[in-house]
Chains A and B, each alone.
Chain A
Amino acid sequence: MEQPNQSYINNLSGDDKVFKQKLIDVIKKEFPEEKQVYFDYLNAKNYKRAADSVHKLKHKISILGLEKSYDVAVSYEENLLEGSTDQKEAFESILQIITEYIVEI
């Protein structure tokens, strides 16, 4: 399974360690909130709003260098907009990988 990395974050931060840490802190704070919003909408079967949440989470997925996972998220977002939960498991396993990763960084 594809693993997150900090390639984009390092590239963006350059030598600015303060900015890098601030960005990581924001991701650490925002990601669990966005993930919770996604689960809330999914459990409420509000697939349109769940798709919006997936859309927002896509940015975090791309920031963490998860290119293949990003494609999964794109497909899942489209499925949700059509009322289908196909690829739910694949998407949620990506969320789990990110959850574990951001605890460590």
Chain B
Amino acid sequence: MNCIIIDDEATARMIISQLCSNVPSLNVLEAFPNAIQAIKYLNQNHIDLIFLDIHMPDFTGFDFIETLKNPPKIILTTSDPNFAIQAFEYDCIVDYLVKPILQKRFDKAIQKAEAKVSKVLKDASAKAEKVEVTSGNDLYVNIDRRLIKIDIPSIYLIEAKGDYIQVKTEHKNYTVHSTLKKIEIKLPKDLFLKIHRSYIINVQKIIDIEDNSVLIKKDVVPVSRSNRPELMKRLNLL
């Protein structure tokens, strides 16, 4: 993890650097005597973790956190244990170390930070993957050992039929050995909605809605009571 140290006390900066040097996964890039200098640095560099002193004259550690739009993970370092409750109001703060800091306690804080940083990376990668699925316009389905490409926006209805699903498009219908649950996660959420335990529809293809059913192309599809509120939310009602 790339990290920086912000502390107005030279002794503290030196001690934290030494504690960091005993942890192979940490790479201390800079140490700053005040938060203002650190803000300039953060605008140009990617940092995973900050060791931040709370009690600094003029511009405190909390003032500093408030200025950051997307703060990295932060470990607070302080001589004052009374700020602990306030500290945990911030999601970016992973731990709170009271000076003088011992290596054992420091290592524990790093373990917490590593877990949080790796979660952030994992979430970011999952998000990227999700975008990939939803941004693509094609879905490949396995029919008789052939992978057949279906243009996602052309799908208007998917119906569960036992161990199969029937995918209806503007041009053709496909019967696929799969489940609604499996196909649902492959479809863009802004376009498709499950309106019944056996039906997923493309909301852009709706012709009209009457009571508890939707007319979509030539199909009349039931809407379950529990799914109706979500369907109504999706409609641009006058």
Binding site for B on A (CB under 8 A): 8, 11-13, 16, 19, 22-23, 26-27, 29-30, 49, 52, 55-56, 58-60, 62-63
Q: Is B8 an interface residue (CB 8 A)?
A: yes
Contact B9 A55 (CB under 8 A): no
How far, in Å, is B187 (CB) from chain A's closest CB?
A: 57
Contact B11 A62 (CB under 8 A): no
Contact B100 A30 (CB under 8 A): no
Contact A52 B57 (CB under 8 A): yes
Q: Which of A16, A19, A30, A62 contacts B10 (CB 8 A)?
A: A30
How far, in Å, is A84 (CB) from chain B's closest CB?
A: 18
Binding site for A on B (CB under 8 A): 8-12, 14-15, 18-19, 55, 57, 79-80, 99-100, 102-103
Q: Which of A11, A16, A30 contacts B11 (CB 8 A)?
A: A30
**Chain A residues whose CB sits within 8 angstroms of the CB of B9 once the complex forms:** 30, 56, 59
Contact A55 B80 (CB under 8 A): yes
A-B contact count (CB 8 A): 48
CA distance A58 to B80 in the complex (A): 9
Contact B15 A12 (CB under 8 A): yes
Q: Which residue of A lies closest to B55 (CB)?
A: A55
Contact A23 B15 (CB under 8 A): yes
Query: Given A11-B102, A59-B9, are A19 and B55 neighbors across the interface (CB < 8 Å)?
Result: no
CA distance A11 to B18 in the complex (A): 11
Q: Is the contact region of chain A dominated by helix, strand, or loop, or is it mixed?
A: helix
Contact B11 A26 (CB under 8 A): yes
How far, in Å, is B66 (CB) from chain A's closest CB?
A: 20
CA distance A12 to B103 in the complex (A): 7
Query: Given A12-B18, A26-B10, A56-B8, are A62 and B55 neighbors across the interface (CB < 8 Å)?
Result: no
**Chain A residues whose CB sits within 8 angstroms of the CB of B14 once the complex forms:** 22-23, 26
CA distance A57 to B134 in the complex (A): 57
CA distance A97 to B81 in the complex (A): 26
Contact A19 B11 (CB under 8 A): no
Query: Given A23-B14, A26-B10, A52-B57, are A58 and B79 neighbors across the interface (CB < 8 Å)?
Result: yes
**Chain B residues whose CB sits within 8 angstroms of the CB of A56 once the complex forms:** 8-9, 55, 79
CA distance A63 to B9 in the complex (A): 13
Identify 6 residue pairs between A and B in the complex whose beta-carbon atoms are under 8 Å apart, listed by A's number: A11-B103, A52-B57, A55-B55, A56-B8, A56-B79, A58-B99
Contact A59 B57 (CB under 8 A): no
**Chain B residues whose CB sits within 8 angstroms of the CB of A11 once the complex forms:** 102-103
5 smallest A-B Cβ distances: which pairs?
Answer: A62-B100, A58-B79, A59-B99, A59-B79, A26-B10
CA distance A82 to B15 in the complex (A): 31
**Chain B residues whose CB sits within 8 angstroms of the CB of A59 once the complex forms:** 9, 11-12, 79, 99-100
Q: Which residue of A lies closest to B58 (CB)?
A: A52
Besides A12-B103, A16-B18, A30-B11, 9 other A-B contacts (C-beta < 8 A): A11-B102, A23-B15, A23-B18, A55-B79, A56-B9, A56-B79, A58-B99, A62-B99, A63-B11
